[in-house]
Every structure is written in structure tokens, then in C-alpha cells.
Amino acid sequence: MRKFTFILFATFVGLALTLPEGWSMGRRPRDGKEERKADEKAAAEESAPAPEPLPLLTLEDCYELALERSETVAISKEEIEEAEAQFFKATGEALGDVDFVIEDFRQDAPKPRDLGAEGGPGFGSTFNAQHRRERLFVISQPLFQGFKSIGALSGAGSFRKQQKEEWLRSKQLLFLDVATVFYALLREKKELENVEGIRTLLEERIAELKEREKIGRSRPSEVVQAEAGMGRVEGELARVRGVVKATGHLLEFLTGVSIELDRLQEEGLPEEKARELTTYLGDSETRPDVEASRQAVKTARGAMIVAQSSLWPEITLENSQYVKREGFQKDFDWDLLIKVTVPLARGGETIGKIKEARSRWKQAKLAHTRTQREAELEIKESYEKWVSSAEQSKALEGALRASQENYRLQKEEYARNLVGNLDVLEALEELFETSRAANRASYEMKESYWRLQVARGDVV
């Protein structure tokens, strides 16, 4: 029995050794074709190119994306189309109308006593006919409408120009919104880097203090003091992260694309030296919203002319060119009618319209004056902020270098027991605050520059 068991075991081992590679209990070996497919798939995965990174976004790129997405700019552009439609309507009133009229008249059969004696094509037989047809061209031309057409054309033309200028201004204001959010996000990104840098310095400081505490060269209170500062920095870090996300969502709202901090590419400002304020104030005259308010005055004046035209007589010419006529008028090919309407009384309606139009004209003039004054004020404010922020940014850059050097020296002097830990922490806090102030001033200067350009109306 033992011999039989040994023989059976040896047979099983020999069979296992002779089986093809890949066989196992309950699994079929892969053939050569499957192995090649697996190898090709693995090679393809290894050789597949990495996904291309998303393109960087500059301020101009973000503005172009916002232009495509902005409903405000789109609505303003449609208002230009509406103004052009009003211009065509006013042109039509001045040029008159040309119509081709087809008349097919039918009536009940006349009673026998109403028929003419002979039933011929006389005056009575024409009007008593059961069926009468006419084909004619009707030309109606206003000869004089009390300057109504002139006022309507003038008002429609200036209104179209007004809408175009307002569209340009809406684009400029959109650029300012994008620039403000763009630089705010970059500022907060830099702020996040500053806070993380200070946290790293504090971590190094705490680690150093703990090592010194082990050898009795630092007090436990110094470690606790540094850890308390770390807690404040951690809280500030959480706040800045939230601000970064919220600002990123706002830029996504304006551009319609996903915004990642690494995609933003900051470019330098155009080279421009500050000139005299009076030079910039001269640009207010050509600013789109100022020009739009000027065109609004012309539009209101045209409306006043239209209202005043109701006091004048109206002369209209109507000419009919007949293609087909029946009855006793079949030999008449055309007729002409000149109509003169003299307004005598409208119960105060005309005077009311004139007073209303005159009031709107005066309001438009006052609005134009206010818009011009506001433009000058915006230029003055943005100019002063740009100049002062540029000076502040330059001064804080020097202060930041001094704070960095001070912190380095305080650490070295602490290592030589020349100063206390509190002095080092104060130097670190000063470095932190100076870095944040320099960051804010730098981006405030950039934002103020573009705010000045928009105030001048120099951005399209």
C-alpha cells in the first residue's frame, strides 16, 4: 500500500513538471496571442503621451473670455440693433410709402327699380355692379410735417451713437471688473505663500527652541510662546485659503472657465511715467459714457422738435397709378391728392407734449454735465491712488529687505545669547506684516493703474 502511494505521488509530481507554463489549479494558461496583446497594451500605456497642461491665462485672456460670457455687454450690443431699427423707422417716415393695392369688391344684386334704363356702364351702373376690381400703385409722400421728420432722423441717429458709446463703456467696465478680481486672486495667492512661509519659519523656530530646551538653553515658556504664534498663523492660513477659493469662484463666474492658481500668468504693466494730472483730465471729454450723455442731449432735442411739429400744418401728397379699373372710371389712369391739415386745437395735448419734451431735454443736459464732472473726479481719484500706491510699493520693498535682514540678525544674536526669544519672534512678526503690506501695495498699484486707464476711457 505504501509502495502504491509513493508511485501515485511520483506520477503526480512528474505530470506537474511536464505541464505547460502558466497552468495552475482551475486556471487555463494564456496562449501567445493573449500575451502579445497584454504586452502591447502595457507598452501603449507606457508610451502614451502625458495630458497637455491647460494653457496659462493672462489678464487679457481672462478679459476675452469674460467678453464672450457677459450678458451685460451682450444686452448693450442688442440695444445698438434696436437703435438702428428706430433710425430706419424715422427714415421711412421722411421718405414716404409706396404700396401696390389690389381691390376686389363684391355686393348684393341691385333691385330692378334701381337699375338704369339701359343698364349701361354709366355712373349708376358702376356703383351698382355686383363685382368690381381695381389694381393700383399708391404713393404717399409727406411734403411738410413741421420739421417732424428732421427731428425724428436727428434723434434716431444720435440715439444710435449713444447706444454704441454705452456698449463701449460697458466693455471698459467689464475689463475693470476682471482686472480687479484677477489681481485680487494673485494678491491672495501671494498672501497664501507668505503665510505658509512664515509658518515654515515658525516650525523651524519651534524645533530649534525644543532642542535648546533639552540642553537647558531655552525656557519652556519660550516654546509655548512660539507655539501660540503658530496657532495664530494657522488661523490666518485658514482664512486666506477661504478668500482664495471665494475669489477664484468670482473669476470663474466672469470668465466661465475653471480657474487654478497655477494657470494665472502675471505680466508687467506697460511702461508709463506719471504725467501731470491736467493731461489725464483732458481725456474725460472723449470717454464713452461722456460722449453717450452728449448724444443723449441731441436725442432729447430731436424729441422736442418732434413734439413742436404738432403746432405746424401738415401737407401730404398722395398719388395713385391705376393698372386696372372697371366701370365709368376705366379711362382714368392716375389721380393726385394734396392734403393740408391745419391743427387748431388739441385740448392742451400738444402743449403738454412740448413741455414734457423740453423738460427731458433739460434733464439730459444736466445729466451730461454730471457725467462729465464724475469722469473728472474718477480720473483724479485713480490718478492719486496710482501715484501714491507706486511710491508706497517702492518704499515697502525696501522695508521688506530690511525686515528680512533684521530677522536673520536676530536669529544669529539669539544663538549667541545676545537677545531673547521674544526679540526673535517680534522680528519674525515684523517680517510677516511687512511682507503682507508690500504684497498689498504692489497689487494695489497695478489695479490703480488699470483703474486710471478705464477712468480715462483708454481701454477697449
Q: Average model confidence (pLDDT) for the chain?
A: 78
pLDDT at 371 over 60: yes
Cell of 47: 508610451
The residue type at 346: R
Residue 153 lies in a domain: yes
Residue 228 lies in a domain: yes
Tell me the per-residue pLDDT of 160-176, one tens digit each, with 9 for 90 and over: 888 898 899 999 999 99
Determine how many CB atoms are found less than 10 A away from the CB of residue 363.
13
Ordered DSSP codes for 40-53: HHHHHHHHSPPPPP
- The β-bridge relationship of strands 334-341 and 314-324 is antiparallel
Cell of 434: 511687512
Bin 417: left if φ > 0, else alpha if -120 < ψ < 50, else beta. Answer: left
Highest mean pLDDT among 95-109, 183-197, 273-287: 183-197
Residue 116 lies in a domain: no
* SS3 label, residue 144: strand
Residue 243 lies in a domain: yes
Strands (E), 275-410: 314-324, 334-341
User: Between vectors from CA 48 to CA 46 and to CA 51, what angle results, nearest 5°?
Assistant: 125
pTM of the predicted model, to two decimals?
0.71
For position 215, which CATH number holds? 1.20.1600.10
CA-CA distance, 90 to 150, in Å (whole number)?
9
Residue 178 lies in a domain: yes
Note the pLDDT of residue 277: 87
More reliable by pLDDT, 143 or 288: 288
* List of residues 6+ apart from 78 with CB closer than 8 A: none
Lowest mean pLDDT among 13-22, 100-109, 317-326: 13-22
Lowest mean pLDDT among 52-66, 75-89, 323-337, 364-378: 75-89
CA-CA distance, 415 to 430, in Å (whole number)?
19
What 8-state DSSP symbol labels residue 137? E
CA-CA distance, 57 to 251, in Å (whole number)?
11
| Number of helices followed by number of strands (H, E) in the chain | 11, 4
Tell me the per-residue pLDDT of 225-258, one tens digit each, with 9 for 90 and over: 788 888 888 898 899 899 999 999 999 998 888 8
pLDDT at 356 over 80: yes
CA-CA distance, 310 to 313, in Å (whole number)?
8
Structural domain count of the chain: 1
Percent helix, strand and coil across the chain, each rounded to 5?
A: 70, 10, 20
Strands (E), 38-174: 97-106, 131-144
Return the percentage of the chain with pLDDT > 70, whole number.
77
Highest mean pLDDT among 70-74, 134-138, 259-263, 289-293: 289-293
Tell me the per-residue pLDDT of 18-38, one tens digit each, with 9 for 90 and over: 444 444 444 444 555 566 666
Q: Which domain holds residue 166?
A: 59-107+130-456
Residue 8 lies in a domain: no
Computed on alpha carbons and rounded to an integer, the radius of gyration of the chain in Å comes to 44
What 8-state DSSP symbol labels residue 331? T
Residue 120 lies in a domain: no
Q: Of 341, 287, 311, 309, whose CA–CA distance to 154 is shortest?
A: 309
Lowest mean pLDDT among 45-49, 188-192, 310-314, 369-373: 45-49
Residue 123 lies in a domain: no
Tell me the per-residue pLDDT of 120-137, one tens digit each, with 9 for 90 and over: 455 556 666 667 777 777
